[in-house]
Structure 1
């Protein structure tokens, strides 16, 4: 009995001690700068090591909540956090510690000093002066000149473009020292070097001369590269925060920071490029198919000489193997495969995220070569309405109206309206066929956004979109109003109606910023009625998609996971000639993904199981690994599996405008008698950043291989009069190598160079061959230059892109009569695009551009064009542009 009483008393004492200790704890919240999960882990660990009882850091709110007792002050904890590399409201991290953080942790550093350093910084600023230079030779010359003029010591920083001086005022002055530095060849905030001295500097020392000179202590304007990614993907809440640029005014110094138009994300484990809307303004960019004209990763090509459609290719494979999403929801797939790129206007796009290789399992199973996600306009600091008007010299015109506004502090809305029309008869190669179809499109969307993440943790995004597109192509003089059997001319008619509605809702758990729940839903109705000469093709598609994602941590934020379930329903009704085809695909699925974050590495491993009613159970594992050798040297590895069901009619409409008959060699599968397509993708990339010409430069080299376990082959070689589909029996693979170099030779001038090598082969019925229409070698050059802004914010910009495409294997036409035969390989060619734009102020922009300025075009784009109803007619043998040079003008007005 005494033992029980003793235990009870002991337990009561322990509880009392804990209660008293808890009463002595105080809870405080502080602003601390961080950028990712690694930052979160480092901040919390530093706080606890410094004596905090608990520490919870919120990346979204940039706040640290501490529980401490009376034995240690919060200042001591915040000082330790700063020593670990994270600026906070009281202390600033030493520069060398911040620079030593991994690249993904380079948050935006406020230029205002912390209170604890204000006095010290003020003293330093009295002897710190702005001096232009470019390299190590500049540093030696500047410091030598300063010491010669009487300075006891001088330290010049290439990064800050400042020199810190220590001198005895009785022996010299800052004016005397800065005059000596200018005489040695280096402009500074008080004196400018003579042109003769500047020109005699070594080539590596020729810095940009961009300082306004006049009175002492002038306003100095200079640009600073932002060191962190502005794109934070809050998938659960469906919210994306994009900041184009910002300005800070500190003691007469204006610092302007701008996000790169295209940036490779340093924090992502996968190879992810963030393409900003500024990149899209470098070219015509009337729709998504033209959004990659200045991008080296994606190949854009015409797929048909009759309908004028464009298709994307990535890693050496057709567009159908890339997951194309909008707002992270499935978008261009199924019946929309052929023309869906035309349904996302360029002026509607806020940003694009391009992932090469295996993407996350949370977004589905169809991605094989990568993912391209488009985010629509929905973020604006102030209400903004914009009008865009575009016209080219060959009868194409379009108009866009976009409006983003806030309803109140939690609700905002976006109106998007697009209309285009092609009215001219364009036939540049004199084959009597239109080089592009005539017709019109009306496209309207409304987006509604709710954001109360900070208070209730709830966010939601709603969207609705309607499209009506009508196109007529074929021979000039074709009259769409007459019945097909009463026409002498060959015609093509394509009428599409599309409606979709979607919602994304997310909840972030209170007090747990690392834990969230997101639910995405979408319904799509797509209808197409079309004819190609005497052939009819029509289809209807109903799609419902739902995805539920839960995200949290295991122990701490170094161990993060996502888990959830998805459901996809596709209902298809198709008619080709007199054949009616119907099928329903239902795919419930489950998935899980684990992210392990270390100081220098990130591992993302995931898997999903999908229970396809026609294709059977499919298991899809994917893994991405990133290792930071240094903040400037990053290695990435990836591997993963994907599968999809082939829509053989919708995805190959470019061959309907021909004399080819369709043949499907069935093998017992449940979709057109064919098995689903399954492939593995493996990749490795190395990213290296360095400074060249005193500015940031980067080189990225990557290699990807795709191995098909099963594939639906499109055989164009079996006979020029046949289009044959069958499942792979053997091997099919695609090797892709790309290297890209981005650098800035001088201020406001950006250069992008790239080379790509593809090796794409498959075992067809009659043996292994190169896949047609895929060049082994490709080259890419892009130049972008902008002048400095004037007082009204006006400036000029100049952009030009050269694409070189090597020879491509063409389908076998050897059994055709000699006059209708194509060579085995095409010629190589180059396409030059250029654009000049003038921003008169922040409200008005005008631009003039040209496409295919080399005027290279395929003269024999249509085989046997004189007899379009004959056996040898073929409009699908396209490997190059079908139009000569084309010029356009445009105007952007913001209200």
Structure 2
């Protein structure tokens, strides 16, 4: 391990040396021509400085290093030594007072007098936006520079910039990852507001672009894929579990052939190994690990941030394979009214209504409503089981956002989820089950009542603009009752989460630290059959994270947290992220860290309840949840991102390789006995290696193509044998084609997926499994959707899922005798039913803030 860190430090040093050959921009305070001469003269005396230029309009010193001997700290110390404050060092008061009175930049009256005299036409300012669906989003970290020069700036967190004019050119270039660069002639102009994906405001000129539905950040230390509303609109996206059909990084499958429940996977591991947050507050976990994906309607979502690999220590210790952060629509800038209606050929109907209102400029509220109903029983594969659940679903959320005059910003909200689902055999038929004489149908039911609330607050210190403090609070009450055939499963969860964060800089914005305290409390009460499982978990924690950034070329994040679990004891979680970008279109990343979590073994494996398998915990230990140890894993990964012009076509390439090694894992064993599912602590190896290569190409302004290939090698020791994890395909190929004709309002999206073979658990001991196989066949899935915009308010869409009508034969073992000991609906490796058509509409009325 120490050799790895030595190599990393060596690589970091070399990266810094390479980066130093480019122009360096340093903030230095000054006011006048005398300041300029003094600063430039002193800077040229410093070893390694080749050329300098100080701009009194924006207080930026541009430095071109002449050799690797250049040292930023040495230069800033030298400048502070002659009386000028820099971004890292403050000049001595006596030296400052010795400056000419004209140069006293700390005096408000002298500074104001200079500002009045400055020629404002020498400064260009403005804002860069990205265009979403009816909304302009500030482009954070966009590059703004003068063509053919090294004089440039990055936009701030609000998308704003200021840049001094260059004497050699008037063409100002704007660029952002995933967008085509554009240059604007700024002769005679001092301000510009440009929307990449929409146009720019300048002398009534409007230049149109196309905003990509998915974008990638080249500036974040960890890889982040941003799924916008445009990406989510490529499919029906009725809820979060259906929001990844056009994203190759996430796999979506069914838990079983009875309940119609979907689950997701990333890096070859189940979704329970991911940290799923709602606006950076832990959300889908515990009892909601599987069903919770349906608790977030897709039309409520503004965007999704997808991050493979280990996450930040500030977000907790539970993430192992990655993080999915869901951003809901914000009341201050979302549509005044948004209505969505959906219907499919299985007679499933859904309606969503989003309302937003600003009471004043400091107080905003939003109301989000969702309703779903399906009453008709469908059985298209003719196994006398319903293809999907019937029932009702109602979800409502009310959120508020506020700003105060003393600099405090915050939000709070309440959400209620009420779902009643029924599945199983068709009712109204006489089901005579051989050997039992039972006439009642085999049915499953789940009734969920969940209420949750949250509060977030942030404060930026006015005298320390780089220092802030934040507080996150959330609480929930989750109550569910259900049964699967003769098996009862009731569960109750109460949770409370608190996270206090403090962030500031060390000398300059190159060195940022974040520290905080967290507390997680969970109370669970589960009844499975006649057995009761109680657990109370209390985990206080403390964390700290340091971030180093070198002119946006090198980023390093080192984090450490310590937590004390009331049953598993004290543990430490280290995490590390590193990024090197030789230019703004290239990023190399390295990530490594530890994760730990307490699985909810029944809720996370609820698909086995659609069978006659009994649940058995092997060799349970006293005084810990389920009698099993916590899951502990180390995740490490490398990735490479590159944007370039392929035959003059904008292209983005992403390559990633991740490896997860479990120190302990709760093994879920379907192989040992076809009448049981076993849970026991890992005794041997368990790992997941995932490789993915993805390329996104804009062939024409109206055609985007996404191609990907993924390889997963996921193995676990089942008792004595190291076997491939069941139902995980080693190989996957993916293609998405997005056609959009802006002038006519038509959009066409088609996604093709090829799934390789998957291992099936050993069913040789089940005499009813007459069609049992060791491996599934490979297969293709094709989804397509066409939509038409009518004006700016109305959009109609029509789509088909599983266009090739591919389905797994005999997904339910012993479907004709579900009360027998051999009944099993959990052996699902492919689509349970065939193709399905759907249609719907989207109607919106934008608020004034969205049109500004």
Give the TM bin, normalised by the shorter chain: 0.7 to 0.9
**Contact 1:52-1:67 at 8 Å conserved across structures:** no
Question: CA shift at 1:67, angstroms?
Answer: 4.1
Instruction: Give 1:608 deviation, angstroms.
Output: 0.6
Alignment correspondent of 1:686: 640
Pairing 1:521–2:521 present:
no
Distance of aligned partners of 1:673 and 1:382 in 2 relative to their CA distance in 1, 3 Å threshold: closer
Mapping of residues 109-258 of structure 1, within 5 Å: 121=170, 226=196, 246-257=198-209
Q: Decide whether the 8 Å contact of 2:124 with 2:165 is kept in 1.
A: no
Q: Distance in 2 between matches of 1:468 and 1:531?
A: 17
Cα deviation, residue 457, structure 1 = 2.2
Deviation at 1:249, TM superposition (A): 3.6
Q: Match of 1:513, SS?
A: coil
Give the alignment of 1:819-834 within 5 angstroms. 819-834=769-784
**1:680 Cα deviation (Å)?**
0.2
Deviation at 1:33, TM superposition (A): 11
SS at match of 1:775: coil
Q: Secondary structure at the match of 1:820?
A: coil
Whole-angstrom CA distance in 1 between matches of 2:419 and 2:532: 24
Structure 1 pair 584/29, CA: closer, same or farther in 2 (3 Å)? farther
Matched, 1:412 2:412: no
Q: State the match for 1:150 in structure 2.
A: none
Match of 1:695 among 646, 649, 654: 649
State how far apart, in whole Å, the 1-side matches of 2:305 and 2:481 are. Answer: 32
> Whole-Å Cα distance in 1 between the matches of residues 204 and 699 of structure 2?
28
**Which of residues 714, 720, 724 is equivalent to 1:770?**
724
Which of the residues 343, 349, 354 maps onto 1:397? 349
SS at 2:314 equivalent: helix
Against the structure 1 CA distance between its residues 106 and 552, is the aligned structure 2 distance closer, same or farther, given a 3 Å change threshold? closer
Q: 1:479 to 1:289 in 2, by over 3 A?
A: farther
Inter-partner Cα distance in structure 1 for 2:461 and 2:344: 52
> Does structure 2 retain, via aligned residues, the 8 Å contact 1:359–1:371?
yes
CA shift, 1:764, in A, is 1.2
User: Is 2:773 the counterpart of 1:721?
Assistant: no
1:620-631 alignment runs, 5 A limit: 620-631=573-584
CA distance in 2, matches of 1:326, 1:469: 20
Matches of 1:47 and 1:740, distance apart in 2: 47
Q: Which ranges of structure 2 fall in alignment gaps of 5 or more residues?
A: 1-30, 36-54, 62-71, 89-103, 129-143, 173-179, 187-192, 431-435, 846-852
Aligned residue for 1:872? 822
Q: Report 1:721-870 matches (<5 A).
A: 721-789=675-743, 795-817=745-767, 819-870=769-820
Deviation of 1:689 (Å): 1.1
Secondary structure at the counterpart of residue 546 of structure 1:
strand
2:495 matches 1:543:
yes
- Map 1:92-103; keep pairs closer than 5 Å: 93-97=145-149
Task: Answer yes or no: is 1:618 the counterpart of 2:571.
Answer: yes
In the alignment, the residues of structure 2 paired with residue 47 and residue 451 of structure 1 have an alpha-carbon distance, to the nearest angstrom, of 41
Q: What CA distance in whole angstroms lies between the structure 2 residues aligned with 1:51 and 1:409? A: 45
Kindly report which structure 2 residues correspond to 1:396-795, keeping only aligned pairs within 5 A, or say none: 396-452=348-404, 456-477=406-427, 488-599=440-551, 600-668=553-621, 670-789=624-743, 795=745
* Partner secondary structure for residue 278 of structure 1: helix
Alignment length, in residue pairs? 729
CA distance in 2, matches of 1:53, 1:757: 56
Counterpart in 2 of 1:53?
A: 84
Looking at structure 1, the residues matched to 610 and 232 of structure 2 have their Cα atoms a distance apart, in angstroms, of 32
Q: Is the 8 A contact 2:214 2:227 kept in 1?
A: yes
Cα contact 2:628–2:680 (8 A) shared by 1: yes
Is residue 238 of structure 2 the alignment partner of residue 286 of structure 1? yes
Whether the 8 Å CA contact 1:325–1:371 is kept in 2: the answer is yes
Are the counterparts in 2 of residues 421 and 439 from structure 1 also a CA contact under 8 Å?
Answer: yes
8 Å CA contact retained: 2:123, 2:165: no
Please say if residues 820 and 864 of structure 1, whose CA atoms lie closer than 8 Å, have aligned partners that are also in contact: no
Give 1:355 shift. Answer: 0.8
Judge conservation of contact 1:475–1:491 (CA < 8 Å) in 2: yes
Q: Specify the SS of the correspondent of 2:241.
A: helix
Q: Tell me the CA shift for residue 407 of structure 1.
A: 1.0
Matched-pair contact (CA < 8 Å) for 2:751–2:783 = yes
CA shift, 1:328, in A, is 1.1
TM-aligned CA deviation for residue 378 of structure 1: 1.0
Q: Provide the rounded CA distance (Å) in 1 between the counterparts of 2:703 and 2:222.
A: 28
Pick closer, same or farther for the CA change 1:696–1:340 going to 2, 3 Å. Answer: same
Q: Is the 8 A contact 2:749 2:786 kept in 1?
A: yes
Summarize the Cα distance change of 1:97–1:356 in structure 2 as closer, same or farther, 3 Å threshold.
farther
- Greater CA drift, 659-668 or 800-809: 659-668
Alignment partner, residue 336 of structure 2: 384
How far apart are residue 99 of structure 1 and its match? 8.3
Please give the TM-score of this superposition, normalised by the length of structure 2: 0.80
Decide whether the 8 Å contact of 1:50 with 1:80 is kept in 2.
no
Assess if the C-alpha contact under 8 Å between 1:693 and 1:744 holds in 2: no
Change (3 A) 1:98 1:773: farther
Q: Deviation at 1:693? A: 3.9
Contact 2:705 2:736 in 1 (8 A): yes
What is the CA distance between 1:50 and its match in structure 2? 13
Question: Judging changes above 3 Å, is the alpha-carbon distance between structure 1 residues 539 and 450 closer, same or farther for their aligned structure 2 residues?
Answer: same
Local SS of the residue matching 1:320: helix
| Partners of 2:208 and 2:459 in 1: CA distance | 35
Contact kept in structure 1, 2:146 and 2:166, CA below 8 Å: no
**Where does residue 373 of structure 1 map in the other structure?**
325
Distance 1:503 1:405, change over 3 A: same
Question: 2:336–2:844: 8 Å Cα contact kept in structure 1?
Answer: yes
C-alpha distance 409-716 of structure 1, shift in aligned 2 (>3 A): same
5 Å matches for 1:285-364? 285-364=237-316
CA distance in 2: counterparts of 1:295 and 1:679, whole angstroms: 25
- The alpha carbon displacement at 1:622 in A equals 0.4
What SS does structure 1 have at the residue aligned with 2:491? strand
3-state secondary structure, aligned to 2:605 = helix
Distance 1:684 1:522 in 2: 34
> For the Cα contact (< 8 Å) 1:508–1:516, is it kept in 2?
yes
Q: How far off is 1:632 after superposition?
A: 2.0
- Between 713-722 and 762-771, report the one with greater CA deviation: 762-771
Matched-pair contact (CA < 8 Å) for 1:574–1:581: yes
Shift in CA distance, 382/580, structure 1 to aligned 2, threshold 3 Å: closer
Deviation at 1:384, TM superposition (A): 1.1
Q: How big is the shift at 1:625?
A: 0.2
SS at match of 2:247: coil
Q: Is the contact made by 1:47 and 1:81 (CA closer than 8 Å) also made in structure 2?
A: no
* CA deviation string 1:71-93 (max 9, x = no partner): x977999999999xx9xxxxx95
2:709, 2:733 within 8 Å by CA — same for their partners in 1? yes
Preserved contact between residue 667 and residue 727 of structure 1 (Cα < 8 Å): no
Question: C-alpha displacement at 1:581, in angstroms?
Answer: 1.6
